[in-house]
Amino acid sequence: MLTRPDSQLLAAITDGDREAFAELYRRHLPWLLVRLGRRCSSPELVDEVVQDTFVAVWRSAGRWDRRGEVAAWIWGIGIRRLVDALRRSRPPADELTTFAGVETSAEEHVLLAVQYGDVGAALASLSPELRAVVQATVLDGLTTREAAQLLGIPPGTVKTRMMRARALLRERLA
Amino acid sequence: MTVWHLDPEAIRRYSRGVAPPGLAASAEAHLMKCAACRGAISSYVDLRRVEAIWHEVADRVDAPRRGRPERLLVRLGVGEATARLVAATPTLRGPWLLAVAVVLALAAWAAQVDERFLRMFLVLAPLGPLAGVLVAFAGGLDPTREIGLAAPYSGLRLLLIRTAAVMAVTVPIVAAAGLALPGSSWPAVAWLLPTAGLTCAALALTARMAPVVAVGVVATAWVLVTAPTAIAGRLDPVFDGGAQIVWLAVAVGAGTWLAATRNTVTLKLGRSA
Amino acid sequence: MTTVRVHGATKSFGRTRALDSVDLEAGLGVTGLLGPNGAGKTTLLRIIATVLAPDRGTVSLLGRDPSRPDDRTRIRERLGYLPQDAGFHRGFTVFEFIDYVAILKQMTDRRARHDEVRRVIALTGLATVSAKRIRALSGGMRRRVGLAQAMLGDPDLLVLDEPTVGLDPEQRLRFREMISQAGEGRTVVLSSHQTEDINALCTRIAVIHQGRARFTGTPTELTARAEGRVWTDTQRSPAALAAWRTGDGAYRNVGEPPAGAELIPPTLEDAYLLLMGEPELEATRS
C-alpha cells in the first residue's frame, strides 16, 4: 500500500478528509511534542498548544503555500502558538529548560565535532542564554519580538545577545 | 550515496530531552526534512498522551460550527443542544426575514402617507410572526421532519422552542417598522398582545390539527375580522384597552389548554399522508 | 419477544384506503415488505415507526402500545427510522446532521453524543467524509448518512423505507451488507419493490398489494408457491402470465404450464409475479 506524502494529505484535509487528518496527526505529533517540550517546561501547556496547533492545521490546511516541508509549516504554527500561550501565562517554574543541566563529556565533545561538524561544537560552547537566542531566531525562525516572548526577556536583550552570539561564533569558526 | 539519518542513540537522547545542544539543534534541523526519523520518535512518546490529545483534537474538529445566533443563545444560558435545534429552524434564514421587513417597511411608509394605511399596518403586523411559525413547521421546509417525528424528543417542545425563536426574531422587526409610524407610539405596540393571543391560539389548535392548518385558520380568522373594520375606519374594538385584556386572556387560556392536551399534540403532528 | 405485532391495521387518507386490515409480525433479523409502489408499504412502515396511528387495529412495538404517549416515547428511544425521502438541512455536514438527529434522540450530553455520532459514522464507513457537506455527496453516500442516523443509540428496532432505491449495483451491495449486519441481534423491517434485495436480506417477508397483505412467511415458502409453475420454452408461451427472454435466448414462462412443458426451479421473483396476478404485471416487471 502506497503511503501518501504529506502534501497530498494536506490537500485531502482541505477537502475535509478526516482520515487523512488522522494520518497527518500520527506522523507529526511525536516530534512536535518533543520539540515544543524542549522549549517549555509545562507538559500541560505543551499539550494544549499541540492541540491548538492541530486544530489550526485542520482549519487552515488550504492556506499552506505548497513550498517547503509540511513539517516546517506545522512547526511554524506550533511555535507561534507556544509564544502566544507563554505570553498569556508563563508556567511558574519555567526556566531555560532546553539546555539546562546537560553535561557533555570530553569524548562527546569530540564526537559532536566529528558527526555534526564545527557548527555544532561552536554552538555547544556558547552559554545557555546565548544558545537559546540563537535557537529561537535562527533555528525556530522567530522574529526578535517572538523570541523575546518565548524566552521571557526584553527584545533589546534578544538583540544584544544575538550580536554577542554571532561575534563568538564567527570567532570560533574562523 | 547513502542518505544521512540520525542514529538510534541520537534519536533516543533527543526524544528523552537529554541530548546536548549541538545534537539537539542538528536533530531538529534534520527532522524538518526526514519522515523516517520523525517516525522513529513515536516510540518514545507516551501512547496515552497521544490518544488523549487526539481525542480533544477530534472533538474540536468534529464539533458542529456555531453561527452567531447560536453562540449568543448559549451565552444567554440556553442549553447547547436546544440552541442547536433552534439554529436549524428554517425561518431564521435571512431572505425570509428580509421579506417580512420589506413588507412591513412598506406598510409603515404608506402609513405616513395615509391614515388608512396605518390601520393596514395593524392588521398586517401579527401576520408576520404568524407566517414565521407557519413556515417553521411547513413540512416542505423542514427536511428532517419525518425523522423528527419518529424521535423521542417531545414534538410539542420542539414546536414551542421554534415558535419562541421565530417570535424573538420577527417581533423586533415588526416593532421597528411600527416605530417608524407617525403620531403616537401606541400603534407600535398595540399589535403585540393580539399577536401573542393569536400565536397561543394557533398552538392550542395543534392539539386538533396540524400546525400549518392551525396557523392558517387563526390567520384567516384574524384577517376576516379586522380587515373590514380597518376599511370602515374603526379599529378600536380590536385594539383598545379592553380588547388588549381580552387578548391577554386568550393567550393565557390557550396556553393552559395546550399544557393540558400536550400528549395528543405529538401524534397529530404526523397526520399528513 | 416478537418485536413488532400489527393486527388488523387499517388506514385511510381521505377516500383512499392505504391499508386494509393488515397483519404483520416481525422479530429478530430482517423482515421485508415487498410490493409495488403505492401498495401501502410506506404507510405500514410509518405506523411501525410511530409516525402514524392506524384508524383501526392494534399495534405492539417492543412490547409496548404506541397509542399511549409515555409508551410511545419509550418506543422511540429504542427506534431508528430511515424514511423514503430522507431530507437534510442545507449546508449541514455529515457530522452536523447526525449530531442534530442525536439531539432529537435525547442525547443531551455533548461529549457522549459526539462519541456516539463518531461511532455510527465509523459503522457506516463515512469517516472520510464526516466533515463534508451532505449536498456535496453522491446519492449512495447520502443514503449511508440516513442509515447512520437511524443507527444512533443502537436501536432495537430499525425501520428502513426503500433503503436501496436509486443506488447503483455496487452501492446496493454495500448497503445490503450493512443492513445484514445491522439485522444481527436487532429487528429490522424494511420495504422494497425489488425482489433481489428481499431475497438477499430477509428471513421473513410480507407481500403488500393495494393495502392488503397477500402473503406472509419465509422467502422459501413464497418461492415454493411457484413450484411447477415456471417453465422454459423456445418462445413466449400463450398460457404464460408473464414471459421474458433470458440471456441464453430461451424464454422463461410463468403461469399455468401446458402439458409436457419443461419445468424449471422457481425463484422468488416468479412467485411474486404469480401472486400479483395479471393486471399488475406490467407495472411490477421493472
Domains, chain A: 6-88 (1.10.1740.10), 106-173 (1.10.10.10)
H/E segment holding residue C200: helix C195-201
Domain limit, last residue, from C153, C169, C197: C153
Does C262 lie in the same domain as C126?
no
Does B108 lie in the same domain as B143?
yes
Contact assignment for A120 to B23 by CB distance below 8 Å? yes
Distance to chain A for C241, nearest Cα, Å: 53
C-alpha span between C114 and B56 (Å, rounded)? 12
Does C122 lie in the same domain as C253?
no
Q: Could you read off the pLDDT of C153-164 as tens digits, one per residue?
A: 999 999 999 999
Buried b (16+ CB within 10 A) or exposed e, B44-72: bbeeebbeebbebbbbebbebeeeebbee
Tell me the three state secondary structure of residue C33: strand
pLDDT of residue C176: 92
Q: Could you read off the pLDDT of B86-132 as tens digits, one per residue?
A: 887 766 666 667 777 777 777 777 767 776 667 777 788 888 888 87
Question: Beta C204-209 vs C29-34: how paired, if at all?
Answer: parallel
Contact assignment for A120 to B57 by CB distance below 8 Å? no
Entry pTM: 0.79
Does C139 lie in the same domain as C22?
no
Mean pLDDT across chain A: 81
Answer whether residue C286 is part of any domain: no
Question: Which of C50, C87, C104 is nearest residue B153 as measured by Cβ atoms?
Answer: C104
Tell me the three state secondary structure of residue A164: helix
Residue of B nearest to A68 (CA): B33
Amino acid at C201: L
Helix, strand, coil: what percent of chain A each, to 5?
75, 0, 25
Contact assignment for B45 to A98 by CB distance below 8 Å? no
Buried b (16+ CB within 10 A) or exposed e, B110-147: ebeeeeebbbbbbbbbbbbbbbbbbbbbbbebbbbbbb
Q: Could you tell me how many CB contacts below 8 A there are between chain B and chain C?
A: 102
Does C241 lie in the same domain as C124?
no
Range of the domain at C143: 87-153
Above 90 in pLDDT, residue C62?
Answer: yes
CB A47 within 8 A of CB B49: yes
Q: Please provide the size of chain C in residues.
A: 286
Above 80 in pLDDT, residue C259?
Answer: yes
Query: What is the grid cell recorded at A50?
Result: 499541540
Contact assignment for B23 to A55 by CB distance below 8 Å? no
Question: Which of B81, B88, B150 is nearest residue C76 as measured by Cβ atoms?
Answer: B150
Does C4 lie in the same domain as C73?
yes
Contact assignment for A16 to C127 by CB distance below 8 Å? no
Q: Could you read off the pLDDT of C176-229 as tens digits, one per residue?
A: 999 999 999 999 999 998 888 999 999 999 999 989 998 999 999 999 988 888
| Residue-by-residue DSSP string for C115-130 | HHHHHHHHHTT-GGGT
| Residue-by-residue DSSP string for chain B | -PPP---HHHHHHHHHT---HHHHHHHHHHHTT-HHHHHHHGGGS-HHHHHHHHHHHHHHHHSPP--HHHHHHHHTT--HHHHHHHHT-GGG-HHHHHHHHHHHHHHHHHHHH-HHHHHHHHHHTTHHHHHHHHHHH-GGG-TTHHHHHTSSS-HHHHHHHHHHHHHHHHHHHHHHHHHTSSS-SHHHHHTHHHHHHHHHHHHHHTTTS-HHHHHHHHHHHHHHHHHHHHHHT--HHHHSHHHHHHHHHHHHHHHHHHHHTHHHHHHHTT---
Tell me the three state secondary structure of residue C56: strand
Above 80 in pLDDT, residue B239?
Answer: no
Does C171 lie in the same domain as C116?
no
Domain limit, last residue, from C202, C219, C236: C219
Answer whether residue B248 is part of any domain: yes
Place of cell 428502513: C160
pLDDT above 70: percentage of residues in chain B: 86
Query: Would an 8 Å CB–CB cutoff place C49 in contact with chain B?
Result: yes
Does B111 lie in the same domain as B21?
no
Contact assignment for B15 to A34 by CB distance below 8 Å? yes
pLDDT above 70: percentage of residues in chain C: 97
Range of the domain at B189: 68-268
Does C214 lie in the same domain as C116?
no
Highest mean pLDDT among A13-27, B58-72, B220-234: A13-27
Answer whether residue B49 is part of any domain: yes
H/E segment holding residue A19: helix A18-37
Q: Which residue has the higher pLDDT, C1 or A29?
A: A29
Answer whether residue B1 is part of any domain: no
Rg, C-alpha atoms of chain B: 30
Domain limit, last residue, from C153, C178, C197: C153
Answer whether residue C91 is part of any domain: yes
Tell me the three state secondary structure of residue A2: coil
C-alpha span between C241 and C279 (Å, rounded)? 10
Does C98 lie in the same domain as C128?
yes
- The number of folded domains in chain C is 3
Q: In which residue ranges of chain A is pLDDT below 70?
A: 1, 91-121, 174
Residue C7 maps to which CATH number?
Answer: 3.40.50.300
CB C57 within 8 A of CB C8: yes
Amino acid at B267: L
C-alpha span between B173 and B177 (Å, rounded)? 6
CB A18 within 8 A of CB C130: yes
Contacts by residues B74-83 (CB-CB < 8 Å, ≥ 24 positions apart): B79/C108, B80/C110, B81/C103, B81/C107, B81/C108, B81/C110, B81/C113, B82/B161
- The number of folded domains in chain B is 2
pLDDT of residue B272: 43
For residue C11, report the phi and psi dihedrals to the nearest 5 degrees.
-145, 130
List CB contacts of C245: < 8 A, sequence separation 6 or more: C251, C252
Does C172 lie in the same domain as C67?
yes
Distance to chain C for B94, nearest Cα, Å: 14
Residues of C in contact with A61 (CB under 8 A): none
Does B77 lie in the same domain as B41?
no
Does B163 lie in the same domain as B43?
no
Answer whether residue B146 is part of any domain: yes
Distance to chain C for B63, nearest Cα, Å: 8
Query: Would an 8 Å CB–CB cutoff place B229 in contact with chain C?
Result: no
Q: What is the mean pLDDT of residues B19-40?
A: 85
pLDDT-derived band at C94 (thresholds 50, 70, 90) equals very high
Chains touching C, CB cut-off 8 Å, 3+ pairs: A, B
Does B145 lie in the same domain as B86?
yes
Class of residue A156 by CB neighbours under 10 A (exposed 0-12, middle 13-18, buried 19+)? exposed
